[in-house]
Chains A and B, each alone.
Chain A
Amino acid sequence: MKRAVLWAGATLVALVVLACLVSVAWLPTDPNTVGTPTLAPPSADHPLGTDNLGRDLAARLLVGARSCLLVGVVAVSIGAVIGVPLGIIAGGSRGVAATVLMRGADIVYAFPALLLAILLAAARGHASTFTAMAAIGLSTIPAFMRVTRSAAVDVLAQDYVMAARGAGFGLGHIALRHVLPNVAPVVLVQSSSAFGVAILAEASLSYLGLGTPPTTPSWGRMIYEAQSFVYSDIQLAALPGICIAAAVLGFNLLGDGLRDLLDPTLREITR
């Protein structure tokens, strides 16, 4: 029971990853093939029925897992690859440099991801999965910077770091050898939470028509397209909604579980 949260999170995440892998290897039918019957109930041909264009709902949900994971992986990678080194630099510097970095992070943090996505879409002429990933990725940088910086400050005050400095090693060496391994657990936990945020943001952007284009199945877009049918065919909106909820919950629980596992002191404090 001690690790129930971790297991629950890991199971949900595993389901999403499994759906993604299954969609790569096998699909009931092509997710974009239109035709008849439209708005059909579940049958042998269409395990979850079809939408208003006659597209197979099960196939679209499976392929939707790909968009969801793709956006999550790319956005979190952008956030971590840029945010972690900046956080370590901010942790290791003093005075103006640290202030500029962290206040810069505050400014980016205050800038809504949605607005950034609209601006990127306007700059590129049209919205796409790329603009959604870039906008979400950029907006997660400050969170990575903050958690890394605070962990890095602790590590940099340790005696062995002092010793390394005394021995003449530069910040680059210390960052790689001592700081990075020690901040890794925090970054891992942050990545998992950020993944949940990214999935939700992608769904919101797709819902608003600012994410994946109409021909790529995406859970957020499926809900958008199902709006007119919410009274007559609730499953069109409910199923992708459940998928989004499960994925976001899964990554958040996984984040919490990992934090408890990797940082027992933190668990004691929060209790």
Chain B
Amino acid sequence: MLCLHSSTGALVDRALDSGATYNPYGRIMRTTAARVVAATISAVLTVVLTACGGTSAPADRQLVVGVSTSPSSLDPTTADGAAISQALLYNVYETLVKINDTGDIVPLLAKEWSVSPDGTSYTFELQPRATFASGAPVDSHAVIASLQRIIDDPAVLPILKKKMEPVSSMTAVDADTVQVQLNQPSNSWLFDIAERAGIIMDPNSHANAASQPQGSGPFRLDNWTQGDEIKLVRNSSYWGTGTKLAGITFRKYADPNAMNAAMLSGELDIISNVAAPEALSQFSDKRFTVLEGTSTGEIILAYNHASPALSNLQVRQAINYAIDRKALRDSVWAGKGELIGSMVAPTDPWYQDLSGEYPYDPAKARELLAASGITDLNLRLRIPTLPYAPGAASYITSQLAEVGITATVDQLEFPATWVQTVMVERNYDMTIISHTESRDIANFANPGYYWNYNNTAVQESIAAANVAPTTAERDQLMAQAAKLISDDAAADFLWLLPNLVVTTSDVTGVGANAVSLSFDMTAAAAPPK
């Protein structure tokens, strides 16, 4: 290759020496003729380009958002992976009620709602003007059809079906009123339908939801390039106060440093969550705004309780004592994010600080391990290819080695291979993953979840909290469940993923916190340019 170039180069040199111009097709042109043609072309181009540029008015902005993961389907009810809801929830798909930036439930498609005194009957008054992007009305029939689909459609994820289990019947009282009857009171149900279990789809779009989402939000899908980007554009017939943006593009960057570089070069307008926090200082100049908020993404060292060694409480506790979570967070995530100690984010009403339950104590870890009678412990730590995992895995492996536990690290491509191997086949001992759904502590009461965790005390506490008559009693029962989970070392709760959003300084309306699955751009604005 090199040879070919140099010989071509020599030819060109010789030709040029003889007073000719080189052209790559091998013909030698006379210098003057070539110059005349080139000058004419450039003159024409200059005129055309100046004419185009001179008359155009500032255009509405298509904001480009950098994200770390991309979805394998666009239907959040049949496919897992936070990337789908991140782009589509609230932006394209709306729900009856939504979770706002501070974690509270606020009206969306339901302008108001009431609950019967016994807590078993919910009546939603729909926004009378609401329509889907197709123009079809969002009426009580469309709402019931969407919610009924979660219950009936076998393709819907079991985790979402579970959220609809309390529902016994749904009635269209009139075109704008829906009444939902529950089997028993549920404190979590309204919260559960504020995210993907409660999305209201255009009734005509159910069959094609995996590739052509049709909702009632201020944006609609324009184009999806799998593995690369999701382009949303303004829904010009939006029923509410619409967006001023031309649209939003969610673009995937597998490498956090590439994403930072794209932001610095002006290719991006927003980074949804900086995944290389040690490089955050790059955005300290006035071109950028850095928002440091909280999220609901608990990064956990998950245990497979079906693995013989990890079904032993002493082994799990030994691992929890062996890991210095503060030093881990400081080294791997530049000290950003809170230490939590259980599956509860500080934005949840039943939060209590359990981060001191397992202080770093290698001697105690060795003692517990010896007491368990298990020697030569070798565990498979199968991690996803996500920014926080390799660093955390290296740290944990080193600290476990100090107490005599060998952890073998395998890095699995995320989402496809990791989800299949760890969540579906459960072929793992430990993994490191962030659980981003809000109030997802209830997964510890689900023995069918990928942890194979079966603790009746936890299940009873969470079930009792769900039907508790007052929020104070609910919070007390949930706090009790969180403590039980921590005492039982059901997992090691490493740290809470901080929400580190970077925007260009002219972008407004982006929330600092990520307390729902959505990257909510409905209030975002940027001056046209």
Contacts and interface: CB of A to CB of B under 8 A. Distances in A.
A36, A38, A55, A215: most-surrounded residue (chain B CB, <10 A): A215
B211 interface: no
Nearest to A38: B331
A138 to B, nearest CB: 21
Contacts of B391: 52-53, 214, 225
A245 interface: no
A52 to B, nearest CB: 6
Contact of B411 (A36, A213, A227, A232): A213
B8 interface: no
Q: What is the interface of chain B mostly: helix, strand, loop, or mixed?
A: helix
Contacts, number: 78
B409 A228 contact: no
Interface stretch (B124-132, B396-404, B487-495): B396-404
Interface in A192-241: 209, 213-215, 225, 227-229, 231-232
Contacts of A232: 278, 281
Contacts of A125: 410, 412, 417, 421
Interface of A: 32-36, 38, 52-55, 121-122, 125-128, 209, 213-215, 225, 227-229, 231-232
B163 to A, nearest CB: 32
Interface in B302-355: 327, 330-332
B331 A122 contact: no
B339 to A, nearest CB: 17
Nearest to A128: B410
Nearest to B330: A38
B394 A32 contact: yes
Interface of B: 255-257, 260, 276, 278-279, 281-282, 327, 330-332, 382-383, 385, 390-391, 393-395, 397-399, 401-402, 409-413, 417, 421
A32 B409 CA distance: 13
A23 to B, nearest CB: 17
A60 to B, nearest CB: 11
17 contacts: A32-B401, A34-B394, A34-B398, A35-B327, A52-B278, A52-B391, A53-B391, A125-B410, A126-B417, A209-B385, A214-B409, A214-B411, A227-B276, A229-B278, A229-B279, A231-B279, A232-B278
A122, A209, A214, A229: most-surrounded residue (chain B CB, <10 A): A214
B256 A228 contact: yes
B141 to A, nearest CB: 45
Contact of B394 (A36, A53, A229, A231): A53
B278 A53 contact: no
Contacts of A209: 385, 390, 411
Contacts of B385: 209
A157 B255 CA distance: 55
